[in-house]
Chains A and B, each alone.
Chain A
Amino acid sequence: GAVVSQHPSRVICKSGTSVKIECRSLDFQATTMFWYRQFPKQSLMLMATSNEGSKATYEQGVEKDKFLINHASLTLSTLTVTSAHPEDSSFYICSARSVGYSGNTIYFGEGSWLTVV
């Protein structure tokens, strides 16, 4: 079963509104979560690294005021797309890092399709 859950899986919002996507680690604590964006037929592009209890680290070119990331607990990180525009329509994926005795394991969520109309 899935160990990282994303919600919603699909969302349609009107241009100018904000939408929140949740990423939850279901059976482990994730001090670090990652948010990606993926356009059709392209690879995942890292947007930001989210560390529990601290500010997210954004990749170059990603507007931190537009893509708000909150990692308030060890099992939940949220991505809020503020004042969404049609060009923000994309597939957003989160991943969470589980630290175990054998090393780090990265689990991906199922992704969230955002369509801005």
Chain B
Amino acid sequence: KNQVEQSPQSLIILEGKNCTLQCNYTVSPFSNLRWYKQDTGRGPVSLTIMTFSENTKSNGRYTATLDADTKQSSLHITASQLSDSASYICVVSPAMDTGRRALTFGSGTRLQVQP
């Protein structure tokens, strides 16, 4: 079982609508959780990074929340744009960062924004 589970696997929304992506993790102890946006054929780009003590962090129209007790995070996209069409990946860093397994990746949510 993957230590980082994302849902939904894919999502289609209309331009201008809001959406929320979910990330549940079991990595423990955990250091920080990151959300990345990956356009097709490109490297991932960081959207937010939160430590275990942070509950929410915003980056423009992207707002990430974190509940370290329930080990859940969400990424909320407001007023979606066509350029938001991409894969969104949740990545968790373990507290014991030995350098070998710095990151645990979710399988991603593929978002498609339609006009």
Question: Footprint of B on A, CB under 8 Å?
Answer: 4, 6, 32, 34, 41-44, 46, 49, 51, 57, 91, 93, 95, 97, 103-111, 113
Contacts and interface: CB of A to CB of B under 8 A. Distances in A.
B43 A41 contact: no
B89 A44 contact: yes
A41 B107 CA distance: 9
B1 to A, nearest CB: 15
B97 A108 contact: no
A26 to B, nearest CB: 13
Nearest to B89: A43
Contact of B49 (A44, A49, A51, A105): A105
Interface in B40-99: 41-46, 49, 51, 89, 91, 93, 97, 99
8 interchain residue pairs of minimum CB distance: A108-B43, A43-B107, A110-B43, A111-B43, A108-B44, A43-B108, A109-B43, A43-B105
B97 A110 contact: no
Contacts of A51: 99
A49, A97, A104 — most chain B CB neighbours (10 Å): A104
A104 B43 contact: no
Given A6-B43, A108-B45, A41 B100 contact: no
